[in-house]
Amino acid sequence: MRETGHLVHEYLRSSKRFPHIWCAGCGIGIFMQALIRVIDQKGYRKDDIVLISGIGCSGRLPVYVDFNTLHTTHGRALTFATGIKLVNPRLKVITVMGDGDAVAIGGNHFIHAARRNIEIASFILNNNVYGMTGGQSSPTTPYGATTASAPYGSLEPGFDICRLAEASGATFVARATVYHTRLLEQLIGRALEKKGFAVLEVISQCTTHAGHFLNLKSPVEMMKWQKDNAIPVEKAREKSDAELEGKIVTGVLVDRERPNYHEQYYRLVSEKATV
Amino acid sequence: MQKQVLLQGNEACAAGALMAGCRFYAGYPITPATEIMEIMARKMPEAGGVFIQMEDEIASLGAVIGASVAGSKSMTATSGPGFSLMQEHIGFACMAEVPCVIVDVMRGGPSSGLPTQPSQGDIMQARWGTHGDHPIIALAPSSVYEFFELTVQAFNLSERYRTPVILLVDELVAHAREGVILPAQDSLKIEDRLRPTVPPEWYIPYADPGTGVPPMPAFGDGYRYHVTGLYHDVRGYPTVRTDEVEPLIKRLFTKISKDFDRLQWFDAYETEDAKVTVIAYGCVARAALRAVRTARENGLKVGLLKLKVLWPFMRRTVTSILEKSAKVLVPELNVGQVSREVKRVNQTKCEVVTLNKVDGTPIKPAEIRQKLEEIYP
């Protein structure tokens, strides 16, 4: 494994003005480092990587890294990714989205990208809140949580992003946390290598806005919460739903084979093309 | 020798797009634009291009922009309700300077409106539908052949200026069938976006090369750069610096406004000695031509200015008509959208008269002729 200093010079944009915009204690930076490490380990060429984001704290990730980077509109990263992958299937297309980004405003695009099984590695940084706008409820905010937009407590249950992805047809679905960095890197690698729509939900912490309603006062407490509540999927299978209440089931939840969209499409082109 | 063929407007549009080099189509079914999508679904695999039906119109234009960033000429087609959904990404394409073509086959509105009836109600939406100050180019064909021709030109303009170009078509022109002779492929002038020629390490993605339009590589070409809808500096990185924000928005406008002279596309009939000139576009211009001819036969000195470019508004051309005529008549299938622009640019004593119809039926030649006789000085 290459040293961190080497990775910084190789993958962070020297022409970009730092510091980054994330709060101290945010989990997005941990994910970004893990992503860079895995891309380096796997030996992908920087020219072949397209990193696409939507809007929100996670949306700012691509600007810092030296790939082909596209910061799109709120919730729509997967639509741009679809166009890019189909025009140039040789490219490794990666999206980074937040929880509100991916499954609230972008929910429609998310389920249809999964249904098509278009080859995109999708990373969803789930911090249970709209952080950039100041701590409003997201579709993964827990029931009853008090947020800036639910001052009397949220009346909505949160989504299980992985089950949504599975039901929609994603061929690889996994969950990790930013605390378990080894597992995180392993699962990022699996998602990148999947020849279909791959979803990795990354449980992350927003200490600025989500900490208070989760009753966790510091980044350290939030990461300890991830440590204490994570349960590998193999163990979780032996437990009842009641026992899994409030737990974070980590690992590979779904890994199945189904023809992906671009391979089917280009097979069609090879049959029909007259040029 | 090219043969005459019977084509529907929407078919002519698809033919024009393919000849212009369009190799990516993403869309969502909507009347009265669906035929374009159905043709593309058949033709794109044959042409080695990509067709995909997306989950909605927001996604369609997102995929189109992604495809263009990856180096493909790309388009979508829709009607009013879908055009409303696309506004978000029209703004993105303006800001990030991504060439693409959007066809809006206008139906009566607002909301679901009159899906199968002609209208010209989206002229102002094409101009100001997406939020914030931005330039836009919109073209309006009035025949099947013009729909073909202006589709080719829409791609050329979008590539030349790195900007979205909108085709505003009414249902009549989209669904009419006319005999047309399409030109041979090699007789068409096809423009492609400028690609960078410097080595990647010298490439500054949004630096003005003097023309206002920076060269654009495709993702995967080796020029790794950042694309965003945020205000950005010359490297593409987000900025709030006043000395970077203002030059960007000014460049977005001037890259098109410097060429206003090249964007005066119109047909003029008998305007030289006309006391009253009709200013029309789309299907209404056809009725107007008939009305003008009949009125001329009856001794009235009237003329017609048919607009092919609606945005940027052809101030110069329209002003030259306003200076010559005592009155202009602006018939439209809306409550007065282009007439509002004509009044705005009018610095003369010429009187601007409107004729508006919003009942879902086209304006007939007799209605225009009657109005001409009524207002003739």
Which residues between 188 and 247 in chain B have a beta carbon less than 8 angstroms from any beta carbon of chain A?
Answer: 218-222, 224-230, 235, 237-238
- Residue with the two structure tokens 């990022």: A188
Please judge whether B70 and A91 are an interchain contact, meaning their C-beta atoms are less than 8 angstroms apart: yes
Q: How many domains does chain A have?
A: 1
Domain topology for B4-187: Rossmann fold (3.40.50)
Q: Which residues of A touch B235 (CB under 8 A)?
A: 15-16
Contact A250, A175 (CB under 8 A): yes
Report pLDDT for B64. Answer: 98
CATH number of the domain enclosing A243: 3.40.50.970
User: What counts of helices (H) and strands (E) characterise chain A?
Assistant: 10, 10
Q: Where are the beta strands (DSSP E) in B154-220?
A: 164-170, 177-181
Contact B51, B41 (CB under 8 A): yes
Distance in Å, alpha carbon of A85 to nearest chain B alpha carbon: 8
Q: Give the residues across from B76 on adjacent strands.
A: B102
Domain boundaries, chain B: 4-187, 267-375
CB atoms under 10 Å from CB of B215, counted, come to: 18
Q: What string of DSSP letters covers A231-261?
A: EEHHHHTTS-TTTTTT-EEEEEEEE-----H
Which residue in B48, B54, B238 is closest to A273 by CB distance?
B48
Nearest CA in chain B to A21: B238
Which residue in B63, B92, B238 is closest to A83 by CB distance?
B63
The contacts of residue A56 (CB under 8 Å, 6+ apart) are A74, A97, A98, A100, A101, A130, A131, A132
What angle (nearest 5°) sits at the alpha carbon of residue A104, between those of residues A98 and A105? 90
Report, as ranges of residue numbers, the positions in chain A whose pLDDT lies below 50: none
Specify the 3-state DSSP secondary structure of B196.
Answer: coil
Specify the 3-state DSSP secondary structure of A130.
Answer: strand
Which residue in B24, B54, B219 is closest to A79 by CB distance?
B54
Question: Considering only CA atoms, which of A61, A63, A29, A14 is closest in space to residue B232?
Answer: A63
Calculated CA dihedral for residues B72, B73, B78, B81, nearest 10 degrees: 70
Contact A71, A97 (CB under 8 A): no
- Residue with the two structure tokens 């700012």: A60
Cα-Cα-Cα-Cα dihedral sign, residues B27, B28, B33, B36: positive
Q: Which residues of B touch A269 (CB under 8 A)?
A: 45, 48
Per-residue model confidence as pLDDT tens digits over B168-197 = 999 999 999 999 999 999 999 999 999 999
Question: Considering only CA atoms, which of A90, A2, A81 is closest in space to residue A41?
Answer: A2
B130 interface with A at CB cutoff 8 Å: no
Per-residue model confidence as pLDDT tens digits over B343-364 = 999 999 999 999 999 999 999 9
What's the pTM?
Answer: 0.98
- Per the structure, the complete domain to which residue A50 belongs is given by 4-272
Question: Considering only CA atoms, which of A54, A59, A51 is closest in space to residue A107?
Answer: A54
Complex ipTM > 0.95: yes
Structure tokens at B49: 């291009």
What is the band of B235 on the pLDDT scale with cuts at 50, 70, 90? very high
What is chain A's alpha carbon radius of gyration, rounded to the nearest angstrom? 18
What's the CATH number of domain B267-375, 3.40.50.150, 3.10.20.30, 3.40.50.11810, 3.40.50.920?
Answer: 3.40.50.920
Distance in Å, alpha carbon of A65 to nearest chain B alpha carbon: 9
Which residues between 69 and 88 in chain A have a beta carbon less than 8 angstroms from any beta carbon of chain B?
Answer: 69-73, 76, 79-84, 86-88
